[in-house]
Amino acid sequence: MGGKVWLVGGGPGDPGLFTLRGKEVLEQAEVVVYDALVGPGVLSMIPETARLIYAGKRSGNHTLPQETINRILLEEAQKGYRVVRLKGGDPFLFGRGGEELELLREHGIPFEVVPGVTSALAVPAYNGIPVTHRDFCSSVHIITGHKRADSADNLDFEALVRGGGTLIFLMGVRALPEICAGLVNAGMAPDTPAAVLENGTTARQRRIVATVSTLPEASAQSGIQPPAVIVVGPVCSLAEQFSWYEKRPLAGVRILLTRPKQLISGLSAMLRLQGAEVLEYPAITTELTEDKETLDTVILKLGQGDFDWLVFTSPSGVRIFLEQLMERSDLRVLAGVRLAAIGRGSEKELRKYGLRADFIPSVYDGRTLGTELAGICGAGERILIPRAAAGNPELIEELSKGDHLILTDLPLYHTVHRTPRILDETEFLQREDVDFAVFTSASTVRGFVESAHGIDLTGLRAVCIGRQTQREADRFGMRTWVAAEATLESLVACVEQAAAELGLTEH
């Protein structure tokens, strides 16, 4: 099959505004050419197998000239690859998408365009500004504040003022004084409401609402920087009345989440639902151990009825073991085997396979699981424990105190520390631009520290799922909070409590 290019709009930053079609295409990509303004939540969706080419553009700083980007798309498609050109916002709204397609069309390369949610509409909406309103205006005009270097054309401010609709300027922060002066000189009332909206749809979202005559000074005093959207028109007066983004429990809170990639989406969704911006940074991954012969033997014995209990200590253990079991047999071999899970996360993973836990301890840790399970097991019962090769010894220690229990501790997988290819957490840490790191296990703490490239993590705010995880974070000098229970729901509640305690939210 020949190569093809997809021009995909990544939206304004919030990954919840990335389209379903965009995600579908991105997951099939072999080469991804991506921009600076694509949000980290969207970047985290790029498959591990895709080759990455950075083509970021910031004001006055272009990593690659546009002509080079056009040629890269052509050459990669000619090699037969599925190429995704991932752009911030919408590719056909000041995104030079049309220019990128011209060369492809000349050479007969097939392409598709996947529209994206534009910041021109999304950012005002996230700031409580409806770009049209029946009582104020019936039209909206989107203008670029950044002109081509070889163009001497000036904006027709008289025409913009005469149109009477809401004016939205993209890429115009540097030219804000000239834009506002041009509108006033063209006859716009100096007291017309106007706003500049910085970092819209992210945790660092800010808005300055003033008038067209006072906005440049107000913006300068507040230190507004790109990316930002400028809105001019009476609808800006509705911002306070219709504001909603900052009223969510974790609005304005940026969280670094270090859970394994296979498990990260559920917790991310829960935190984002409460208003947090989540930087997904899976600092560890799991790999099956090489001792497949032992695994084959254990699963054969399981089918022969040689085990009374199957004990899971993590969602990863559930997923990996059951996947391996079904490669060799099917779930019928579990008939008559009772299942124990260390907590609600492992129980939830079991339910994905149509299974239910027969036993969950009162406290979700290895010591309690071992103590309480040993208390309900009969003499000589046979227990299989598929888990990480470097598992917590407390579980085995407590089960060994049982009535002649027969234990099979199966090293099923290794936890491997990894550094994600795109999101560089050191950049955020050095800027002190992360409010909390959230850890769901001691191994995620160790993986995160190893990938932090020698950065002093003393004082980093860390929210931990349990005491063992907290002890590991304390060891590196982090300032820690621990969830009341070892559940994701309790972990999210703990983040909310810590944010409120520190005055990071209004709640």
What CA–CA distance (Å, rounded) separates 124 from 118? 10
SS (HEC) of 397-412: HHHCCCCCCEEEEEEE
Residues 6+ apart with CB under 8 A from 478: 437, 457, 458, 459, 460, 461, 462
Q: Is the dihedral of CA 243, 245, 250, 252 positive or negative?
A: negative
Counting Cβ atoms within 10 Å, is residue 442 exposed (0-12), middle (13-18) or buried (19+)?
buried
| Sheet bearing 284-288, strands edge to edge | 284-288, 406-417, 382-388, 309-312, 338-341
Amino acid at 341: A
What CA–CA distance (Å, rounded) separates 266 from 263? 7
Q: Helix or strand or coil: residue 497?
A: helix
- Of 203, 199, 204, 252, the closest CA to residue 226 belongs to 199
- Of 410, 344, 402, 414, the closest CA to residue 378 belongs to 402
Give 377's DSSP letter. P
Q: How long is the chain? A: 507
Which residues does the annotation mark as catalytic?
35, 57
Distance in angstroms between the alpha carbons of the first and the last residue of the chain:
55
CA triple 116-67-100, angle to 5 deg = 30
